[in-house]
């Protein structure tokens, strides 16, 4: 199977984060190809000539993925503001059109709502089922073309989370085969945000043990940590000692170097 | 191309006649099958909440073009110009005076399920799948709401008609 992991670094500010993510990725996934695309690459991906790359803001995942899927069987977009903390082979398993990760958890959702009044959801989607587009695995050309079509529609700008809202519409209302990666014993990204102090290093794995709050069903292996927050993510990376237990923080630092 | 018409005949306190519609179809499409989906069939199929999409789905297995038309409508002419064209479906904007809406779709653009031409198995399959989802009870006009979502957010080519497109062709 022909697989490509990729990320997008839109400016120099993102390069530190991007390099950290790639360093951590390679430690656990040495056999997988990972590419970084920049604004310079966008010309080759665009259907039309353009002078301002910002016309593709908030829809970069389908923008790049729809062209990449012509060459690869599976295309995985990772946000740069992540630390990969485990092997990702399992995300490729199965017959599906798209695999996605959760955007939230009870604690983070409540905090965000109290601070901003934003629901972090869309229409009647349960907030805990609303998905994040910081880690998307795409196997279907039809799916990504459909996603791109929605991202070019007139109503696109009416949606606060743009491509992510469009992704949720496709995942929750259309009959695509969807793999929800966090509905397993491995967690990827924002599903752990707010619970980072509970993460323990056990052997060479990061684990959140089952508890009364989150997760309630079983122990979870954390394979991705996602800072989120756009430009602010770089500053959060500096807070690594505060956000995690000492041993975990030291371990994360070795992963990103 | 195999073509058929169908309507939904609901019973209960009022029995809705379908003979006028049937006669009008026979006048312009003599050899074209016309099916009436009755309350009994709806109950038997277990699709009480989504009879139109489920009956459309069943018919698209045997027919290339399936036209659903409301029981109290009548054909006034042939509608070949509405049927022709490379579309997955042909749908119509809301024909009643009752304003409806779903998501951020403008009520003026809201589509009705009173008159639909389905030309793609994929369209009927997707419509039925959407209607069967767990969220169906959250949508007041489940079938019509999902038809709107499928049309405006789907990836198929759909022709959208205005009321004036039906003038002289269909009596509403």
Q: Is the pLDDT of residue B104 over 90?
A: yes
Does residue B44 sit at the A interface (CB-CB below 8 Å)?
no
- Dist. CA A137–CA A96, nearest whole Å: 9
- Dist. CA B100–CA B111, nearest whole Å: 9
- Dist. CA A107–CA A191, nearest whole Å: 10
Neighboring chain B residues of A178 at a CB cutoff of 8 Å: none
Q: How far is CA B9 from CA A143, B14, B21, B36, B142, in A?
A: 37, 11, 11, 6, 18
Residues of chain A with pLDDT below 50 are none
Q: Among all residues of chain B, which has the CA nearest to that of A126? A: B135
Which tens digit of pLDDT belongs to each residue from B76-101? Answer: 999 999 999 999 999 999 988 889 99
- Identify the CA nearest to A47 among candidates A64, A35, A33: A64
Q: Which of A240-244, B49-53, B63-67, B139-143 has the highest mean pLDDT?
A: B63-67
* Contact across the interface for A173 and B130, Cβ inside 8 Å: yes
pLDDT of residue B42: 76
Residue A5 bridge partners (DSSP): A34, A76
- Dist. CA A151–CA A59, nearest whole Å: 6
Class of domain A3-181: alpha beta
Q: What is the ipTM of this complex?
A: 0.92
Pairing of strands B170-171, B74-75: antiparallel
Q: Is the pLDDT of residue B144 over 70?
A: yes
Residue A215 preceded by cis peptide, ω within 30: yes
Q: How far is CA B12 from CA A100, B15, B22, B40, B58, in A?
A: 46, 6, 21, 11, 24
Both tokens assigned to B98: 């009752």
- Identify the CA nearest to B114 among candidates B22, B43, B38, B8: B8
Does residue A35 sit at the B interface (CB-CB below 8 Å)?
no
In the predicted model, what is the mean pLDDT of residues B17-31? 94
pLDDT of residue B10: 75
Among A123, A149, A155, whose Cβ lies nearest the Cβ of B155? A149
* Contact across the interface for B126 and A174, Cβ inside 8 Å: yes
pLDDT of residue B165: 95
| Interface test mutation site (partner A, options B57, B103, B105, max chain A beta carbons within 10 A) | B103
Sequence ranges of the domains in chain B: 3-171
* Contact across the interface for B155 and A124, Cβ inside 8 Å: no
pLDDT of residue A189: 96
Does residue A126 sit at the B interface (CB-CB below 8 Å)?
no
pLDDT of residue B14: 62
Q: Is the pLDDT of residue B147 over 90?
A: yes
Does residue A183 sit at the B interface (CB-CB below 8 Å)?
no
- Dist. CA B96–CA B108, nearest whole Å: 11
pLDDT of residue B171: 93
Non-local CB neighbours of A48 within 8 Å, separated by 6+ positions = none
- Alpha carbons within 13 angstroms on the beta-carbon side of residue A61 total 29
Does residue B126 sit at the A interface (CB-CB below 8 Å)?
yes
pLDDT of residue A16: 87
Min CA distance, B168 vs chain A (Å)?
33
- Identify the CA nearest to A169 among candidates A187, A193, A143: A143
- Identify the CA nearest to B56 among candidates B12, B2, B118, B103: B118
CATH classification for the domain delimited by B3-171, as one of 3.40.50.1820, 3.30.43.10, 3.20.20.80, 3.90.550.10: 3.90.550.10
* Contact across the interface for A124 and B135, Cβ inside 8 Å: yes
Q: How large a percentage of chain B has pLDDT more than 70?
A: 97
Pairing of strands B3-9, B34-38: parallel
pLDDT of residue B49: 75
| Interface test mutation site (partner B, options A62, A121, A122, A123, max chain B beta carbons within 10 A) | A123
Helix, strand, coil percent content, chain A, rounded in steps of 5: 40, 20, 40
In the predicted model, what is the mean pLDDT of residues B126-151? 94
pLDDT of residue A231: 64
Sequence ranges of the domains in chain A: 3-181
Q: Which helix (H) or strand (E) holds B24?
A: helix B19-28
How high is the mean pLDDT of chain B? 92
- Dist. CA A120–CA A112, nearest whole Å: 8
Both tokens assigned to A211: 């508890």
Q: Which helix (H) or strand (E) holds B121?
A: helix B121-131
């Amino acid at each position: 199977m022909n697989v490509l992991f990729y990320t997008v670094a839109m400016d120099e500010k993102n390069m530190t984060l991007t390099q950290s993510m790639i360093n951590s990725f390679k430690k656990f996934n040495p056999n997988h190809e990972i590419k970084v695309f920049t604004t310079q690459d966008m010309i080759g991906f665009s259907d039309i000539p353009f002078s301002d790359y910002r016309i593709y803001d908030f829809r970069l995942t389908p923008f790049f993925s729809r062209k990449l899927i012509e060459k690869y069987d599976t295309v995985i977009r990772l946000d740069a503001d992540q630390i990969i903390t485990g092997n990702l082979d399992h995300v490729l398993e199965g017959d599906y059109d798209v695999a996605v990760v959760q955007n939230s958890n009870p604690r983070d959702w409540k905090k965000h709502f109290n601070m901003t009044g934003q629901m972090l959801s869309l229409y009647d989607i349960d907030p805990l089922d609303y998905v994040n587009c910081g880690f998307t695995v795409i196997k279907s050309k039809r799916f990504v073309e459909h996603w791109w079509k929605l991202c070019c529609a007139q109503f696109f700008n009416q949606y606060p989370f743009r491509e992510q809202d469009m992704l949720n519409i496709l995942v929750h209302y259309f009959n695509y085969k969807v793999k929800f990666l966090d509905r397993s014993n491995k967690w990827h990204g924002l599903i752990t945000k707010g619970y980072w102090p509970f993460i323990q290093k056990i052997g060479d794995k990061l684990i959140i043990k089952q508890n009364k709050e989150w997760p309630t069903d079983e122990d979870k292996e954390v394979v991705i940590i996602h800072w989120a927050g756009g430009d602010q993510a770089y500053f959060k990376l500096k807070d690594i000692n505060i956000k995690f237990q000492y041993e975990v923080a030291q371990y994360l630092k070795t992963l990103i170097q | 191309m195999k073509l058929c018409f169908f309507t939904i005949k609901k019973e209960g306190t009022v029995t809705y006649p379908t003979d006028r519609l049937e006669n009008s179809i026979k006048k312009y499409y003599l050899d074209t099958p016309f099916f009436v989906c009755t309350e009994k069939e709806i109950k038997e199929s277990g699709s009480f909440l989504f009879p139109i999409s489920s009956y459309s789905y069943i018919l698209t297995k045997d027919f290339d073009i399936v036209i659903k038309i409301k029981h109290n409508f009548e054909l006034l002419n042939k509608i070949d110009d509405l049927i022709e064209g490379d579309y997955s479906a042909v749908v119509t904007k809301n024909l009643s005076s009752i304003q409806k809406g779903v998501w951020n779709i403008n009520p003026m653009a809201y589509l009705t399920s009173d008159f639909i031409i389905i030309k793609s198995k994929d369209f009927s399959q997707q419509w039925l799948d959407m209607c069967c989802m767990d969220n169906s009870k959250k949508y007041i006009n489940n079938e019509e709401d999902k038809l709107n979502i499928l049309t405006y957010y789907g990836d198929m080519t759909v022709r959208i008609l205005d009321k004036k497109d039906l003038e002289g062709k269909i009596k509403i």
